[in-house]
Structure 1
Amino acid sequence: MAASKYIIVGGIARPHGIRGELIVDSHADSPTYFARGSTLRLSPPSDPGRGRDYLVRASRLHQDRFLVTLDGINDRNAAETLRGLAVCVPVEQLVPPAPDEVFLQDLFGLRVRLAAAAPTDPDLGRIEDIRDLGGPEIWVIRDPKGREILFPATDEFVRDIDLDAGLVVIDPPPGLLDLYLVDE
């Protein structure tokens, strides 16, 4: 039987208290992933499949974050060793996205094109990473010359996402690209 593919649904921010409780930043709309009795895999963010599975003993919402207690993590020291790990679930357990949504992992590697570009114009680059800094998602786009472009992925600036074509069409605010596309 083939091994499951794991998807990142959150991250361990830090311990909470002295009894092993963890603060989890959720990237998913569904709280069921963190429900009591569910299993979560904690992995390095760069390798969601590699890691260790934990049974959720308790979970509660606190200030837009989850406080989660995992089986075998009984004190702050044990919880501290998990800081920064990705919280993952098997792809089979994912709640399907709404028709106008996509999973974050589906964006990696997509080509990025400007809305004003002609069909023969080259792509702006590819989505290399996605950062969650507390506001809108920040897409890290790498252009053909290797330059990094930090793009705020808001509904206002993202015109279309076509997973079948492997393409995202963006309309950045005036001047944004001028900050990044400067030859030194």
Structure 2
Amino acid sequence: MKKDAFDDYFYLGLITKTHGYDGKVVAFIDADNPGAYENMEMVFLNIRGSLVPYFIEERSIKNNRLIIRFQDVNTEADASALVKKELYLPLSVLPKLTGNKFYYHEVKGFTVVDEQFGRVGEIEEILDYPAQAVMQVFHEGKEVLIPVNDDVILQLDREKKTIRIKAPEGLLDLYLNP
């Protein structure tokens, strides 16, 4: 299996427009806590499918918007060329989460165990739908979609790579007993 160049990086946001005439850009930061990224010194931009490092000279944050001046980007034309480019950071800079909180990429391959049903299967993917993120799990070849929320997830064990759940009543029957 070929490793994707983006596998070791996470999507941080998108440059949405220029800011002024001196090379600054505005980036939407797609994070629960955008302030955690206010002091970064470099980001990677997706330029035609390759991640290219850009060093940050100045930054300020307002809500989920980061106003950035990159090194060697000094004109409105330079900044315009960066609009609609995606920003990425290495996975290694993500703050560590504890307890039942997790990053979606972190739990791929974890085993899901329901307190009533038992072993459901391994997480293939977390599907992030607009209304609800769900764990995509396969049990004996059948797809099972389990909501990602605090009422369902009882315990996350990073050492054992398991997630213990209490599936909503009838959910597993819906998928496994048609």
Check if 1:69 corresponds to 2:68: yes
In 2 relative to 1, CA 151–117 (structure 1 residues): closer, same or farther, beyond 3 Å? closer
Which string of whole-angstrom CA distances, capped at 9 and with x for unpartnered residues, describes residues 138-161 of structure 1? 32223330x333322111101111
Partners of 1:181 and 1:70 lie apart in 2 by 53
SS in 2 for 1:125: strand
Partners of 1:139 and 1:78 lie apart in 2 by 34
SS in 2 for 1:180: helix
Corresponding residue for residue 59 of structure 2:
58
AA matched with 2:44: R
In 2 relative to 1, CA 129–10 (structure 1 residues): closer, same or farther, beyond 3 Å? farther
User: 2:42 touches 2:55 (CA, 8 Å); kept in 1?
Assistant: yes
The alignment's TM-score, normalised by the length of structure 1, stands at 0.66
Alignment RMSD? 3.3
AA matched with 2:122: R
Q: Spell out the pairing of 1:104-119 with structure 2 (5 A cutoff).
A: 104-118=104-118
Which residue, 127, 133, 137 being the options, matches 1:137?
Answer: 133
Corresponding residue for residue 158 of structure 2:
163
In 2 relative to 1, CA 32–55 (structure 1 residues): closer, same or farther, beyond 3 Å? farther
Corresponding residue for residue 127 of structure 1:
123
User: 2:60 touches 2:67 (CA, 8 Å); kept in 1?
Assistant: yes
The alignment's TM-score, normalised by the length of structure 2, stands at 0.68
Corresponding residue for residue 97 of structure 1:
97
User: 1:115 touches 1:159 (CA, 8 Å); kept in 2?
Assistant: no
AA matched with 1:143: H
Check if 1:172 corresponds to 2:167: yes
User: How far 1:22 moved relative to its partner?
Assistant: 2.2
Which residue, 56, 78, 102 being the options, matches 2:82?
Answer: 78
Partners of 2:137 and 2:60 lie apart in 1 by 36
Structure ID, larger Rg = 2
What is the aligned residue count? 160
Identity %: 18
AA matched with 1:114: D
User: How far 1:21 moved relative to its partner?
Assistant: 1.9
Corresponding residue for residue 15 of structure 1:
16
AA matched with 1:117: F
